[in-house]
Amino acid sequence: MKPRMTRSRRIALFWILLSTGISILWGSYIGQTGNGWVDFRAVYYGTRCLLQDHNPYNVHELETVYRADGGQPPTESVQAHQAVVLYVNVPTTFIVVAPFALLPWGPAHILWMVLTSAVFILAACMMWDLGAKYAPDLSLFLICLLLIDCESIFLAGNTAGLVVSLCTVAVWCFIEDRFVIAGVLCMALSLAIKPHDSGLVWLFFLFAGVPMRKRALQSLIVTLVLGLSASLWLSHAAPHWMHDWQSNLATISAPGGINEPGPKSLTGHSSSMVIDLQAAISIFRDDPRVYNPLSYLVCGTLFLLWAVRTLRSRFTRPGALLALAAITALTMLVTYHRPWDAKLLLLTVPACAMLWAQGGKSGRFAMILTTAGLVLTGDIPLVILALSWRKLHVSATGFGGQLVTVLMLRPASLILLAMSIFYLCMYLRRANPENEKTSGGLESPAGAH
């Protein structure tokens, strides 16, 4: 059995490396032209601006430092301009990016890609390890499906690549009860850079009881220390940074801004569209007074059901996998996210593998739905759908046209909603502490498949 498992791991590692390598090479190649690395460029020059005691949230100061530092403007477009000079990342990002910002642009962005790639591969291997306990072949297929279609992470250099990976590594460490200190640090860094990506995953561990609550609180303490340090540093260099930050957030979220969920957004008809639930509802009624309350009502209801079940359930591995799958999909719907944030769907693979191993309709539906989720949040399918929509010249004035538009331009939002509901139903149905043994009543022995 041991040699077979060793061979299985080697095969899995080969396919994971190959799939990730394709995305890295393709994304890096495209990134050499046009607006490549625009997201990392923003955090890199924003941090260099702060290192020079300027206010990175002030558009004029950031652009002045950017130009003086030899930064070449991206292809002149409002979208690219907003992405670079309207700095909106949380202050703790400066601490993480500072070691790279001390270096010239060339080695800095290469090292960032190397770090992101390494942690991304590690995260994928860890999720395969969890899923392989139930269905190793299906787990490998789903993970490679995600990895081979994530060029945008390596094209734009968005911090989501690192955040998603760190969060995933932390989940493995906590569930497996191994390298816990490393898991705490990974979760803390993930929260510090993009709390809206890993926040609800962290909340699961807070709700899951001892010892998971202890690890969640440890992560929070580290994050708060980082946040306090970043705030003190920023306040010393730029006393009025909070006002400028709020102004930048308002600008990019205003009608026509790059973060607006509605169809009039600069990215609303592209493959990098916003994928939260507001984005889908806005196709039918482009009014924040409508799509915001509706989205919060739907997501709030799903979250409330999830939270009550989590607080009332004893922690078990099977229950944890289902809870994480449900909250991961829901995370993407609650607030602003883009397709690269959806790589957090790595966390749904073990739950899908577990249901698949049990057989029956639930297992087959889990496989179909998870596969569709990974495909419809992938870069290539979204590009194809966006280009097809433009060629069709669909009118979005009538219900029929709106329906076609939401299916072609907001498929990610729809499939994420379906995944949230499905995995939540599985969690509510199966996470009954009276029906589970401490070791996990739904768990199959490692190597059984």
**Per-residue H/E/C for 376-432:** HCCHHHHHHHHHHHHHHCCCCCCHHHHHHHHHHHCHHHHHHHHHHHHHHHHHHHHCC
Half-sphere exposure of 217 (CA within 13 A, CB side): 8
Domain holding 71, by residue range, is 2-435
Residue 198 lies in a domain: yes
Is residue 447, in this structure, part of any structural domain at all? no
Give me the number of domains the chain comprises.
1
Tokens standing for 199? 């926040």
Token reading at 202:
């962290």
Per-residue confidence (pLDDT) for residue 264, from 0 to 100:
78
Q: Is residue 448 part of a domain?
A: no
DSSP string for 124-192: HHHHHHHHTTT-HHHHHHHHHHHHTT-HHHHHH--THHHHHHHHHHHHHHHHHT-SHHHHHHHHHHHHH
What is the model's pLDDT at position 107?
95
List Cα–Cα distances, 395 to 20, 400, 402, 407, in angstroms.
Answer: 38, 9, 7, 13
Please report whether residue 67 resides in a domain.
yes
Exposure class string for 331-357: b at 16+ Cβ within 10 A, else e? bbbbbbbbbbbbbbbbbbbbbbbbbbb
**pLDDT < 70 regions, the chain:** 1-5, 33-36, 70-84, 266, 268, 393-396, 431-449
Which amino acid appears at position 7 of this protein? R
Residues 134 and 353: beta-carbon distance below 8 Å: yes
What is the C-alpha to C-alpha distance for residues 91 and 112, in angstroms, rounded to an integer? 19
CA nearest to 340, candidates 154, 189, 190: 154
Query: 3-state class of 278 per DSSP?
Result: helix
Query: Which two tokens mark 162?
Result: 């690192």
Report pLDDT for 3.
44
Distance between CA atoms of residues 78 and 234, nearest Å: 27
Q: Which amino acid is at 319?
A: G
443 located within any domain: no
SS3 (DSSP) at 115: helix
Report whether 120 contacts 240 (CB < 8 A): no
* In contact, 87 and 56? CB cutoff 8 Å: yes
pLDDT score at 388: 83
Residue 238 main-chain phi, psi, to 5 deg: -140, 85
Q: How far apart are CA 59 and CA 46, in angstroms?
A: 10
0.75 exceeded by pTM? yes
Residue with tokens 């490549």, as numbered in its chain? 36
Supply 371's token pair.
């596969």
What is the reported pLDDT for 432? 53
33: left (phi over 0), alpha (psi -120 to 50) or beta: beta
Q: Rounded distance, CA 101 to CA 108, Å?
A: 7
14, 160, 424, 183 alpha-carbon torsion, rounded to 10°:
70
Alpha carbons 185 and 170: distance in angstroms, whole number: 8
Token pair for 123: 């995260």
Q: Tell me whether residue 440 is in a domain.
A: no
In angstroms, how far is CA 126 from the centroid of its own chain? 17
User: Which residues lie closer than 8 Å to 300 by C-beta, 6 or more apart?
Assistant: none
Q: How many whole angstroms separate alpha carbon 50 and alpha carbon 312?
A: 46
CA distances from 6 to 3, 214, 386 (A): 5, 34, 43
CB atoms within 10 A of CB 102: 11
Write the CA distances from 144 to 21, 272, 387, integer angstroms.
Answer: 11, 21, 25
Hunting for tokens 């993009």 — which residue is that?
Answer: 194
Q: Answer yes or no: is 444 within a domain.
A: no
Residue 327: inside a domain: yes
Cα→Cα distances 186→40, 100, 264, 329, Å? 20, 18, 37, 21
CA 389, 275, 427 angle in degrees (round to 5)?
Answer: 125
The per-residue pLDDT for 441 is 40
